[in-house]
Amino acid sequence: LELASHCGDVTVTGLAIDSRLVEPGDLFVAIAGQRVDGHDYISSAIARGAVAVVSERPISQDIPHVIASDATAACGHVARLVRAEFSGKVIGITGSAGKTTAKSFLAAICSGAGTTVATEGNQNNELGVPLTLAKLNSAAAFAVVEMGAAQMGDIAYLKSMASPQVVILLNAREAHVERFGSLEAIVAAKGEILDNLSEHDTAILNADEPELAAWRARAQPAQVLTFGRSSAADIRLVSSQDRGFDGSVMNVEMCGT
């Protein structure tokens, strides 16, 4: 990162990569995409209240400005800085199917216990996760961060940003197998969320998945909790009844009770 322009101390209160979504106090990161170049919208971002800019080339606007060789990586750097100041609980969730729905349910549950920041929609990639983490503040007690993968290493990268104390691995399916080459590669990629956990962390795993034993071993030395229909699951779904627009009724056993 190269400081290209400095105009005194600047207080940044948010992160934006879309000029249309900039709010006063935001840091605007100009990303050159395949179809749209964020550098073309720097003036629009400033007009909407951006107080600083990160770009990949010099700009003409008179505003605190940092040049980065990789603006996407710069977003990740900002996210790490914000996460390092957050003292609440961060929950990371991944899987081939159901992660957005599970994230939404989990965020709703956590909201009952304290202010919760959660991934919006399915913004679960190298840009979406920084946008989520940038919303962390001292008022929040929880963060629920969805993590997706398009290739090996993606989950590891996102997890390194979010530093979750609780990780949830739902499943591994052959979705997007063309990107990974095999189901085994998908299993390995999703399992990256279990790497480098400590004995103070918790991994929540699907007891109905054939990879359970391997994932449990990979999660060590973290505490492991399991869920599913299996009789061996710590949190076991005994029965469920779909009531249409009235929701569902579920009978759940927790730790044998």
Ordered by where they begin, the domains of the chain are 2-69 (3.40.1390.10), 87-254 (3.40.1190.10)
What predicted TM-score, i.e. pTM, was given to this entire model? Answer: 0.92
- What is the distance between the alpha carbons of residues 129 and 161, in angstroms, rounded to a whole number? 8
- What is the distance between the alpha carbons of residues 23 and 205, in angstroms, rounded to a whole number? 38
Asked if the model's pLDDT at residue 3 lies above 60, the reply is no
Degrees to nearest 5, angle at CA 157 with 138 and 93: 65
Q: Given this model, what pLDDT does residue 8 score?
A: 64
Whether the CB-CB separation of 168 and 107 falls below 8 Å is answered with no
Asked if the model's pLDDT at residue 1 lies above 60, the reply is no
- What is the distance between the alpha carbons of residues 144 and 164, in angstroms, rounded to a whole number? 9
Per-residue pLDDT band at 178 (split at 50, 70, 90): confident
Q: Where are the alpha helices (DSSP H) in the chain?
A: 42-47, 71-84, 99-111, 128-133, 154-162, 177-180, 183-190, 212-219
Per-residue pLDDT band at 175 (split at 50, 70, 90): confident
